[in-house]
Amino acid sequence: MESLEAELAAARDLAVADLADAIESIGFECTRCGGCCTGYAPDEPGGAPAGPGTDDGDGGAETESGCHGGGDADREPHTATVFPDEVRRVADAAEETFGEAYDWRDVARPMPFGLDADADGEPTGETFEWALATDDCGDCTFYEESDGQGACTVHDARPLICRTYPFSVALEGTSQPMGEAVDEAGVVRAHECEGLGRDISREDAEELAAALKERAVRELEEAIGVRDGYDPDARERADGDAVVFDSEGPKAADGTPIGGE
């Protein structure tokens, strides 16, 4: 594997115009189905989102339990990576929108992969990312739906992963949405989404391409920061509680830094 620094240099060299060409050739328009904002059915190929098209064809209507999409009995919670500075930006946007205080835990939770639960159901172990907080249905807590049309309540402040779904770039050390890529052009990969294949304007393709490049650079900068800031003693200081190692250093599940002795 190339070093993270080499991948970062490659990400910084990506030409936005080339990425936009690739996005234009694949095609995309968001249908507001909510598939990328909600929990998913684990038996779907590749852990596909449980939006319309994976349910009974009811257009994403709420089920009896009030969850969007189908199969809520077995839904896996939505997991979308959010960077530490994005957590703060989303919290500020949510406070402005809803007129109430949003703290770290209202926005993000430790990425569950690699964590266990203790006897009280609290997470324990270590993880290296934050995921957007989810509600009881496993949907992103900022997702709202009416008449089958999804909406993001923090749209202007939404994280890069949301701005760029369903695309990724084929560089090691960057995140890939769950499941295999279903289409590709150049270094751009496209993941399962009902909006793929639709016409996209050059302006929108360029905007998406710029965000995709920014995401790849940020993901690699974050990975390098996590690697360089890893503190093997932090778990002992956390006394059994979960530790999230992000690029700003080790943190407790509520986002509080776990400082040195």
For residue 6, what are its two tokens?
């080499």
**Minimum distance from CB of 158 to ligand SF4 (Å)?**
4
**Minimum distance from CB of 165 to ligand SF4 (Å)?**
8
Give which of 124, 127, 126 is closest to 240, Cα–Cα: 124
Residue among 68, 75, 89, 158 that touches ligand SF4 (CB under 6 A): 158
For residue 162, state whether it binds ligand SF4 (rule: CB under 6 A).
Answer: yes
What span, in angstroms and rounded, lies between the C-alpha atoms of 174 and 204? 23
From residue 225, give the alpha-carbon distance in Å to each of 128, 130, 135. Answer: 11, 14, 30
What span, in angstroms and rounded, lies between the C-alpha atoms of 74 and 184? 31
- With vertex at residue 22, the alpha carbon angle to CA 18 and CA 27, rounded to the nearest 5 degrees, is 145
Q: Of 50 and 140, which CB lies nearer to ligand SF4 in the complex structure?
A: 140
Segment contacting ligand SF4 by CB under 6 A, of 111-119, 135-143, 207-215, 228-236: 135-143
The answer to whether the CB of 171 falls within 8 A of the CB of 10 is yes
What span, in angstroms and rounded, lies between the C-alpha atoms of 109 and 129? 9
Residue among 37, 205, 242, 252 that touches ligand SF4 (CB under 6 A): 37
Segment contacting ligand SF4 by CB under 6 A, of 1-9, 54-62, 140-148, 249-257: 140-148
Residue among 6, 30, 152, 182 that touches ligand SF4 (CB under 6 A): 152
**Minimum distance from CB of 91 to ligand SF4 (Å)?**
12
Segment contacting ligand SF4 by CB under 6 A, of 10-18, 43-51, 152-160, 213-221: 152-160
β-pair partners for 123: 117
Residue among 11, 26, 154, 238 that touches ligand SF4 (CB under 6 A): 154
